[in-house]
Amino acid sequence: MRPHPSAMTIAGSDSGGGAGIQADLKTFSALGVYGTSALTAITAQNTRGVFAIEAVSPAVVSAQIAAVLADIPPQAIKIGMLASPEIVAAVAAALRDYAGPVVLDPVMVAKSGDALLAKEAETALIEALLPRADVLTPNLPEAARLLGRDAARDIQETEAQGRALLGLGARAVVMKGGHAEGPSCIDLLVTPSGVMAMEQPRLSTGNTHGTGCSLSSAIAAELAKEADLPDAVRRAQEWLHGAIRAADGLGIGGGHGPVHHFHEVWR
């Protein structure tokens, strides 16, 4: 019997359940994909902020990845919060022989503004993992930070920064438009062969905790189901738009609440 599609997330934990590894596993489940995981860090956080972070040892991160790859090989892998240069190196080494698609979400700062990636880890991320990424999914501030530039101010600058990130080794880049302004949220899929714009109406809600994690894990889930990249990104964006649209109905927490991962399932 052919195994059910599976995807793996390598990321940090969000004790509030809205982002990080919890959001990734919810996304995989919502999209019909079996989820496995390797935990890189434990965070004490809720919808109001991040109160403590403790990184997992690189050896244990490596062991988690090896255990999953040996028995439940994923059809796609999503990488999120990595915390330290040592964990970046451990993940890069553990995935050296992995042949499937890798979606890299360069998680640097939480919705609350708290740092989730040590400054010294940024160079390690660029050198060791960015060239391994089949899809890189930065928001506009993250893209600017990776490139050492100011954040893109319009669609032309967004495209130019996407192409610059291709120059650093990523095979494709999804420039997320959530931090831009205007009535529409436009994500750009930038590849060596061209640019595809995907547009959704911008929704008025404060409950957007975990949107970046959820989009990248949704792309990984669709790739695990053997969608081609443009379709995977389009389906992921449409699903996330629905999760944001339904977020206010959850009523979770008193700060930046989570998106509704199971908006297509819960009644």
Query: Is residue 40 among the annotated active site residues?
Result: no
d(CA 260, CA 74): 25
The owner of tokens 């059809």 is: 75
3-state SS class at 248: helix
Partners of residue 264 on adjacent β-strands? none
Q: What is the pLDDT along the chain (267 residues), one digit of tens a residue?
A: 678 999 999 999 999 999 999 999 999 999 999 999 999 999 999 999 999 999 999 999 999 999 999 999 999 999 999 989 999 999 999 999 999 999 999 987 655 555 566 677 888 899 999 999 999 999 998 999 899 899 898 899 999 999 999 999 999 999 987 655 666 788 999 999 999 998 888 888 889 999 999 999 999 999 999 999 999 999 999 999 999 999 999 999 999 999 999 999 997
Within 13 Å and on the Cβ side, how many CA atoms surround 54? 3
Please give the pLDDT value at position 183.
61
Q: Considering 17, 20, 35, 210, which one is annotated as catalytic?
A: 210
pLDDT value of residue 121: 80
Determine whether 78 is an active site residue: no
Q: What pLDDT does 206 receive?
A: 86
Structure tokens at 256: 């930046």
What was the pLDDT predicted at 95? 97
Helical residues (DSSP H) of the chain, grouped into ranges? 20-30, 58-71, 85-94, 119-124, 140-147, 155-167, 211-224, 229-245
Which of 2.40.40.20, 3.40.1190.20, 1.20.58.100, 3.90.190.20 is the CATH number of 6-139+211-249? 3.40.1190.20
- The pLDDT of residue 113: 53
Strands 50-55 and 76-79: unpaired
For residue 176, indicate whether it is catalytic. Answer: yes
Q: What CA–CA distance (Å, rounded) separates 178 from 232?
A: 18
Residue among 176, 177, 185, 257 flagged as catalytic: 176
Q: Which of 9, 162, 208, 257 is catalytic?
A: 208
| Domain range list for the chain | 6-139+211-249
Q: How far apart are CA 31 and CA 77, in angstroms?
A: 15
pLDDT at 115: 56
Amino acid at 12: G
User: What's the rounded Cα separation, in Å, for the pair 152 and 140?
Assistant: 6
Between CA 264 and CA 149, with CA 49 as vertex, the angle to 5 degrees is: 90
| Tokens 């999953």 found at | 68
Has 185 been annotated as catalytic? no
